[in-house]
Every structure is written in C-alpha cells, then in structure tokens.
Amino acid sequence: MSTNETAKWMSMMINVVFVITVSQSCVRGEPKVPCFFIFGDSLADNGNNNHLRTPARANYEPYGIDFPQGPTGRFTNGRTTVDFIAEFLGFEDPIPCYANTKGFKNMVRGLNYASASAGVRDETGSHMGENVNLNKQLLNHKSTVKRITSIMGLKRLSRQHLQKCLYSVGLGSNDYLMNYFQPKFYPTSKRYTPEQYASVLIKQYSKQMKTLYKYGARKVVLNGVGQVGCTPSSISTTNGSTCAENMNNAVQFFNQKLKSLVDQLNTELTHAKFIYVDMFGISGSPSEVTAAGIKVTKANCCPVDDFGQCVRSKGTCQNRSEYAFWDLFHPTEASNLIIARKSYNSSNLSDTYPANIHHLVQLRL
C-alpha cells in the first residue's frame, strides 16, 4: 500500500470511529446537541484552576460535598448551572474541564474552559494570581478545534460538527468585583464612569464573540451578570442587610448593552443565533427563590476565609438546600438549579432573549 493510500485509509478509519462514537451516544439516548462548550468564570469552573498559582481554587471540602465525585474545583456544594444545563441537553456526564481532558472522545462532545477570577479583560483578577481570561480560553478552544479537525481529517466534517454545538459564555462579574470595584489594584474606576466602563467591556466582548464565531460557533448563549451587589460579600459593605446598589446599578449598564449586542451579532453574523440570559433578573427573583424552598438569601452556608471562600474541611450549615449562597460569592446548587431551569425553558422574554436555550438548540441554521 502506498503512502498516500495509507494516509487515506487512516483518515477513513478515523472518520468511521467518529461516526461510531456519535452513533453509540444515539443508542444511549442522543443529546439535543452533539457537543457543549463552556466559557466562563468561577460560576462555571469545574477544575481548570486546580493547578494554577492562585487561591481561587475549590478542589477541597466542603466544596463538592453534594457532588457525586466530591471536590472537583466547582465553587459550590454540588452542581453548577452549566452542569444542570448539560443534563437538560441529555448528556450523561458533566462536560469535562479543559485542563484535565485527554482523548478525542471527550473533546468532540465539548469542553469547559471556565476559570475562577477570570474576566472579559485580560488583567481582571490578576491580583489573585493566575487565571485563564476569556482571550486565553478562546485560544484554548482554537487549539481544540485544530485537534478535532486534524483527527477527523476533513475540515468540512469538523465545521459541520462544531456548528451544531451549543456554546455558553458567562463572564463580566469579575470585571466588576475583581477590577472596577478594586481601585487599590486597578485604575478602571478612575478612568471610566460605570456606563463608559460597560461600553469598553462590550466593545471587547463583541470582538471576542466574533472570534468564537470564526472558530465555528453558531448557537451561543451570552449570560448577563447577576446581582453582584447582593452577594453576602457585597452586603457586608453596607449595613449587613441591604444590597450594594452602586454595584448592581453598574452591572446593569453592562447587561443592557449585552442584550443590544445580541441583536447586533444576530444581524451581522450569517447563520448564527445568539441569545441573552438575564442572570440579574433570574437570580434575584423572590418568587423563584421562595418556590424553591430557599429561605436564607443574605448569609453564606460555609465558614469563609479572608478570600471569601470556604475554610478547608470545616462544617457547613445543616440545611444546605435552604441557602442561596455557598460562600461569600457563589450560589448553592439549589440556586444554580433555579437559574438553569429558567435559562433553559423560560417563556418570558425578560428572562431569555430572543429565545430560551431549549428553543435555540432546536433551530436549524
């Protein structure tokens, strides 16, 4: 057999293996999308920060106390919002973190690039040590796309596969909590008004989303910033009972501009659909919180250290499902489930615009 014939035969066999892999997932119950890629911060991080030089890690108890595999790097007691969304999509297992993933089978079904303390801006969170900012997460995804294309042999096949995937992007919180509202470390609050800063962030975010589109993304969820002024950490800066409205007002400039960016991207980018998820409204909905049985909304469930994270191996509150927050910043599994359900199937345009995730994955673009 000649060298060219051998190369063609190997390429054909790789494609056969890919088809068999996807077919096996169909037998088990095919997910609604063939793959799910996640970009974000500590709200979605599932282990990418575990080996970085930073205290922003959650690979120890009591983190993961209610997660089947125990502490993995998730900044909550159990599942994150994207874990739940992966379940709703029909994936049997959580989407693996990029840092620990080896092998084509896992990669082709999606990866989680999220990194605690990361932001839209490169410098965000750097006073905490290392993180993987959004630009670096996109570079990691570029590497993934190249590997998938190389293994599948034909660029056309990899492009068709990647265009059917769901992409979730959720950053911006740290650009406020670990940048704009940290004047000791960053000059942004001196340079920009809150509205100007939001415009600067959205301008960069727009470029980053167009880069993601260039890498094959066609179904993209853009998650807004939640009520950062209502975390236990922010509440402690007021009188201990009310939200820090200056922080909430600032992020709302970002959210409003992000929703407009969704319209812009849907107009400019061919055969693509972006949706906006109103994390601010969903996470702060009193009716949803009450209906879920959550009773404690202003205090954290675990004892915390100087960074606002759970103290290693310390006990937690007994009624974990009744708490909205796990540590000073991050929601409990109970809160994450509320956000995931509303993101996935809400019929209210104020929650998800112009469609929910369930509708998005059904679109033929």
Q: Would you call 161 a catalytic residue per the annotation? A: no
Q: What is the rounded distance in angstroms from the CA atom of residue 178 to the CA atom of residue 201?
A: 14
Using alpha carbons, select from 176, 74, 73, 194 the residue that is nearest to residue 124: 176
Instruction: State both tokens at 50.
Output: 């575990």
| Contacts for 95 with CB less than 8 Å, ≥ 6 apart | 36, 37, 38, 46, 82, 83, 86, 109, 110, 111, 112
| Contacts for 225 with CB less than 8 Å, ≥ 6 apart | 172, 173, 176, 251, 254, 255, 279, 280
Contact 343, 207 (CB under 8 A): no
Catalytic residue chosen out of the listed positions 41, 42, 45, 175: 42
Q: Would you call 327 a catalytic residue per the annotation? A: yes
Instruction: State both tokens at 231.
Output: 């975390």
Q: Would you call 42 a catalytic residue per the annotation? A: yes
Catalytic residue chosen out of the listed positions 126, 161, 234, 330: 330
Partnered with residue 112 across adjacent β-strands are: 38, 97
Catalytic residue chosen out of the listed positions 168, 327, 335, 343: 327
Q: What is the rounded distance in angstroms from the CA atom of residue 116 to the CA atom of residue 10?
A: 40
Instruction: Tell me the CB-side half-sphere exposure of residue 274, using CA atoms within 13 A.
Output: 25
Catalytic residue annotation: 42, 327, 330
